[in-house]
Amino acid sequence: MKASDFECPTCGAEVSPNATGCRSCGAEKIDGRWVDPAAYDGLDLPDDDDEFDYDDFIAREFGGAPKKKGKDIFWWVIAVIVLVAFAAIAFRVR
């Protein structure tokens, strides 16, 4: 350890005396005092005790099987008519 190095008061890792934080533990130097890092690790994962219900997840996210509505059928019919019209134009005999 060099004379210019400093020990982090939280984890004991070597840091520069001018450092604003510790790379090892994440402690920050705020107003000349070292503050411990928060316990939050950045992930919002459920606890191990929680059971994950895949079927319930699918039902909530996607609402079950899609149902055909009148609008859907109408647009399918329009699409088929347009395709038949293009085919008739493309294969028209002169």
Measure the CA angle with vertex 28, ends 22 and 30; round to 5°. 145
Return the SS3 of 89.
helix
Domain boundaries, the chain: 6-66
Top-confidence residue, 1 or 92: 92
Partners of 28 in the β-ladder:
21, 35
Q: List the one residue out of 7, 29, 31 whose CA is nearest residue 19.
A: 29
pTM of the model: 0.34
pLDDT tens-place string over residues 23-75 = 888 888 878 777 777 644 556 666 666 677 888 888 888 886 666 677 788 99
